[in-house]
Amino acid sequence: MKNVAVHKLQKKFNLTIFSGEELLDKKHITIKDISRPALELAGYDAYYPKKRIQVLGKTELTFLYSLEPEVQKLRFKNLLLETVPCIILTRGFKPTESMLSLAQKSNIPILGTERTTTDFIALSTDFLDRDLAPTKTIHGVLVDIYGVGVLIKGQSGIGKSETALELIKRGHRLISDDAVELRSIRERAIIGAAPKVLEHLLEIRGVGLINVVSLFGTGCVRSQKEVELVINLEHWDDKKSYERLGLDKHYFEVFGVNIEMHTIPVAPGRNLAIIMEIAAMNHRAKKIGTNTPEEFSKKLNSLITQNQ
């Protein structure tokens, strides 16, 4: 199971450490969802999401601080189960001495932020969504063509990087060359990014590695992009029948998500960059309701029916 050390969250959002600094590398977050314990502070503990970060905002703390000291201590102590990664106070609130004492005894860090509760939960959930997402690295090139994330696959030496270079020269953007890190973020969304060591680099055989930012500027790259279309390049095979109308649908499956895939045969004289631009534009057209192959098929069937 993937996890994120509390220290990483603290560093990312510059959280104030009220107690448990020595625990930040030992406590780990395994669930992206965050809990705001309201009913628990009111005394209802039949269900308590004890593996989540517990965030106390203005509403929770105002209520907690209004309780009698002994009741306040009891209710707060009930939150401090061993599996809780940490307690975070928002809006600049500070813990009481009794809260600090109880947290230290229970080995639960207490952190704080000046951000509002809503803002902090939104930002931290997004951060954890990325860091806890299932991840795999595959061989390929990822480019942004007209706003469509296109993953180019194919055997080594078939021309993936050279095609990406031509696309960059035509104004499109590179996300990653050679290796693409795929993450399953949110329901049915696959996000691709470059491994840190390969960011902005493109390998051109016979030339070597080039830094596309140095040659073409910062506008030719982006850090990540949702993968919406897969182009599989393969050497032209005269014995194989390739799609001509576009009625048959093929998919590339990753993390249970099926992404539309086209197989493009590579042969002398075929401009792969232009073909990929057309594929991306056609994908966008389908999303807004324009499906040329289906429209052609309907017209053809209608014509056949009329002539019978």
Give 137 or 294, the one with higher predicted confidence.
Answer: 137
Average confidence (pLDDT) over 7-36 = 95
Q: Is 58 annotated as a binding residue?
A: no
* One domain, residues 84 and 104: yes
Q: Is 156 annotated as a binding residue?
A: yes
* One domain, residues 188 and 167: yes
Give 289 or 68, the one with higher predicted confidence.
Answer: 68
Residue-level pLDDT at 307: 75
Give 53 or 244, the one with higher predicted confidence.
Answer: 53
Q: Is 302 annotated as a binding residue?
A: no
Q: Is 161 annotated as a binding residue?
A: yes
* One domain, residues 158 and 185: yes
Residue-level pLDDT at 274: 95
* One domain, residues 102 and 24: yes
Does this model's pTM top 0.85? My answer is no
Whichever domain contains 200, its CATH number is 3.40.50.300
Average pLDDT value for the chain: 92
* One domain, residues 214 and 272: yes
Domain boundary residue, one of 87, 102, 131: 131
Going by pLDDT thresholds of 50, 70 and 90, the confidence category of residue 270 is confident
Please give the residue range of the domain that contains residue 165: 135-289
* One domain, residues 116 and 152: no
How many domains in the chain?
2
Q: Is 157 annotated as a binding residue?
A: yes
Q: Is 155 annotated as a binding residue?
A: yes
Determine the straight-line distance between the first and last CA of the chain, rounded to whole angstroms: 62
Average confidence (pLDDT) over 21-47 = 93
Average confidence (pLDDT) over 274-295 = 87
Domain boundary residue, one of 83, 103, 131: 131
Average confidence (pLDDT) over 15-37 = 95
Q: Is the pLDDT of residue 14 over 80?
A: yes
Q: How far apart are CA 185 and CA 180, in angstroms?
A: 15
Percent of the chain with pLDDT over 90: 77
Q: List, by residue number, the catalytic residues.
A: 139, 160, 178, 244
* One domain, residues 171 and 188: yes
pLDDT tens-digit series, residues 110-158: 999 999 999 999 999 999 988 888 899 999 999 999 999 999 999 998 9
